[in-house]
Amino acid sequence: MKNLYCTLFSLLLLTICAGQKEVDVLIIGGGAGGTSAGIQAARMGVKVQIIEATPWLGGMLTSAGVSAIDGNHEMPSGIWGEFRQKLRDHYGGAEALATGWVSHTLFEPSVGNKILQEMANIPNLDIAFNAIYSDVKKDGEGWQITYSRNKKVYSTKAKILIDATEIGELLPLVGADFRLGMDAKSDTNEKEAPETANNIVQDLTYVLTLEDVSKIPLLNQGKKGLVKKPKNYDPEAYACACKREDGDMFGGVSGCEQMLNYGKLPNNKYMVNWPNCGNDFYVNWPELSKEERSNKLADAKAFTQGFVYYIQNELGFKHLRVAEEFPTKDNFPMIPYDREARRVKGKTFLTVDHLERPYDFTLYRTGITVGDYPIDHHHDKNSEAPEIDFINIKVPSYNVPLGSLVPESVEQFIVAEKNISVSNIVNGATRLQPVVLGIGQAAGALSAMSILENKKPSEISIRKVQNALLESNVYIMPFIDIKKEDSAFGAMQRMGATGILKGTGIAYKWANQTWFYPNRMVSEHELIRGLQPYFPSLESMAASGAGIRLPFIASILQKVNMEYSIPVIKTKWNTWGIHQACDDKIALNRRTVSILADKLLNPFAMEVNWNGELKQK
């Protein structure tokens, strides 16, 4: 009997060992952030594995059915820009994606998944689909993760672990300090925050995708895709979705068809993700066990089913049927749309003040991705949520600091989703799809550089990470009027991220802005004031309000002991991609000055700390 037990144990051990793997970077969660992180890290040459619980990539973009992009239309940064271009190629151009009024970019979730899987089909990147992790533990300076897939148990050892789960699942498991729910005003110094903290999170949504079968007689005459009336169905819960006697409707909606066109997708499909008396649902998941959360998510599904029943029967849109969009028996997405997660306590903490007044601080210098969507919270389904007018907290477009991805208390661990170090209020802006794709891309770059330099993520140069991202066409500053196709894109982004040339921020409708004005003249005073923190010797240099000319640039170089003469600069003029004429008498614009400062002075090479302050030499 003893020998039998030994044999069985050996076979079990062999089974587990047969599934062992060693990688540089392990990402748990193949959502928007995790997929982007995996692609970026693999492109930089390190071995990566993604463990994803569903058969799809994309998370909220695809597996949750939220296939209408919120924000960053004018800033197609990095992998977000690549993904959008592939969508345009698939559907036949930008106009083919502008089918619903909520977004410029709408698509079928299944198509989004297909494109992301194609993008992720690259060397160095392994993806374990339908994989459920069961154990996460520290292993020396790295990590050991156990997961199950197809009734088999596997194990992966990794040097760096990335939490790209939808709700920050790993934070308590690895011992990372985190915030959850609404922050107190005393903790954030945000005047808009409640006096007392609470654990209230945003409403979630179980989305459904419908399709118009009115032109398909066999389907239109049948019952396929018509939902059954759910238990506890109450039509009054949805009565104000598109018919309201008084008060403004969300988006100025004046009719039910207009409501449906909110999320109209290509190929006559519709995303049902309606915030106004629609299918938002409150689940206080922080206080629930795994079983309790599962039960509440079933209630959320039933609530969405009730909304679709209301659309089909009370409103009369019976030609809109539930599409077979997802690989599920009930045709619901595989996961709900969670708008909020546990938020790690990171090296930096991004608050509303940083967004409202970026140049009152230096944190903007450490940006790694950008966003322009307003601060948008969903709390209508929780009567206990404090009354905060989130949407009227006006901010310009913004960037996310690298330190928000790096935990304060745990090494070799990075976050890459809605679990970054931001305030509860700011999460209302940073949670959107393009921003999370950018967060993931930055997490991938940081993890790869950590491996390549054999350093901890907390030891990596912020400027090196930013330069790696700029090489991948990532916006590190939210300048709406600088296009990545411009050969001076990197120079202008770098000058913006040093603060030498600052942008002008504007809170504007549903797409906030920051303008660089590349063709605007730069005065002597503006440039000297911007350069002084980097070159203290310029503090004694006289500078007027007149436009900068080439001789003034030469005098700056002389003052900081740079050996560049005007004749030498003129020989480089065209090769550096400067569009202005090379003439001593012409006032130079911000694009030209960015190139010259970047090439001749290279202030971006001066290291900054997590707060964006210059490090002591």
d(CA 401, CA 610): 8
pLDDT of residue 598: 98
State the average pLDDT over residues 462-486. Answer: 99
State the average pLDDT over residues 573-601. Answer: 98
Terminal alpha carbon distance of the chain: 70
Residue type, 231: K
pLDDT of residue 14: 40
Alpha-carbon distances of 281 from 102, 202, 298, rounded to whole Å: 20, 9, 11
Nearest to 324 by CA among 233, 214, 213: 213
Q: Indicate if the pLDDT at residue 9 is higher than 70.
A: no
Q: What residues does 154 pair with on adjacent strands? A: 147
Q: Indicate if the pLDDT at residue 305 is higher than 60.
A: yes
Model confidence pLDDT, tens digit, residues 267-277: 999 999 999 99
pLDDT of residue 565: 85
Q: What residues does 416 pair with on adjacent strands? A: none
Model confidence pLDDT, tens digit, residues 230-247: 999 999 999 999 975 555
Sorting pLDDT into bands at 50, 70 and 90, what band is 280? Answer: very high
- Which token pair is 592? 């030209």
**What DSSP line would sit under 476-520, residue for residue?**
SS--TT--TTSTTHHHHHHHHHHTSS--EEE--TTS-EEE--TTS
d(CA 592, CA 518): 8
d(CA 510, CA 74): 12
**Residues with Cβ within 8 Å of residue 387, at least 6 apart in sequence:** none
State the average pLDDT over residues 485-493. Answer: 99
- Which token pair is 119? 């993008």
pLDDT of residue 251: 58
Q: What residues does 414 pair with on adjacent strands? A: 162
**Residues with Cβ within 8 Å of residue 208, at least 6 apart in sequence:** 65, 272, 279, 304, 305, 308, 322, 331, 332, 333
pLDDT of residue 602: 97
pLDDT of residue 313: 97
Least confident segment among 150-154, 286-290, 324-328, 489-493: 286-290
Q: Domains of the chain by range and CATH?
A: 18-184+340-470 (3.50.50.60), 204-322 (no CATH), 489-605 (no CATH)
**Residues with Cβ within 8 Å of residue 377, at least 6 apart in sequence:** 202, 339, 388, 390, 391, 425, 428
pLDDT of residue 216: 85
State the average pLDDT over residues 453-463. Answer: 99
Q: Indicate if the pLDDT at residue 248 is higher than 80.
A: no
Q: What residues does 400 pair with on adjacent strands? A: 369
Q: Indicate if the pLDDT at residue 2 is higher than 80.
A: no
State the average pLDDT over residues 440-458. Answer: 99
Sorting pLDDT into bands at 50, 70 and 90, what band is 255? Answer: confident
Higher pLDDT, 15 or 434: 434
Nearest to 390 by CA among 108, 602, 192: 192
Q: What percent of the chain has pLDDT over 70?
A: 95
The answer to whether 241 and 277 are in contact (CB under 8 A) is: yes
Containing 49, the helix (H) or strand (E) segment is: strand 48-51
State the average pLDDT over residues 210-221. Answer: 85
Sorting pLDDT into bands at 50, 70 and 90, what band is 13? Answer: very low
- Averaged pLDDT of the chain: 95
Q: What percent of the chain has pLDDT over 90?
A: 91
Model confidence pLDDT, tens digit, residues 334-390: 999 999 999 999 999 999 999 999 999 999 999 999 999 999 999 999 999 999 999
Containing 67, the helix (H) or strand (E) segment is: none
Q: Indicate if the pLDDT at residue 508 is higher than 60.
A: yes
Model confidence pLDDT, tens digit, residues 117-153: 999 999 999 999 999 999 999 999 999 999 999 999 9
d(CA 249, CA 311): 17
Determine if residue 183 is left, alpha or beta; phi over 0 gives left, psi from -120 to 50 gives alpha, anything else beta.
beta
d(CA 464, CA 573): 26
pLDDT of residue 244: 59
Q: Is the pTM of this model over 0.85?
A: yes
Q: Where are the beta strands (DSSP E) in 215-351?
A: 264-265, 269-272, 280-281, 320-322, 343-344
pLDDT of residue 221: 76
Torsion angle defined by CA atoms of residues 122, 123, 125 and 126, in that order, rounded to the nearest 10 degrees: 100
Buried/exposed 379-406: b ≥16 CB within 10 Å, e otherwise? bebbeebeebebeebebbbbbbbbbbbb
Higher pLDDT, 15 or 150: 150
Q: Indicate if the pLDDT at residue 250 is higher than 90.
A: no
State the average pLDDT over residues 493-502. Answer: 99
Least confident segment among 156-170, 227-241, 307-321, 553-567: 553-567
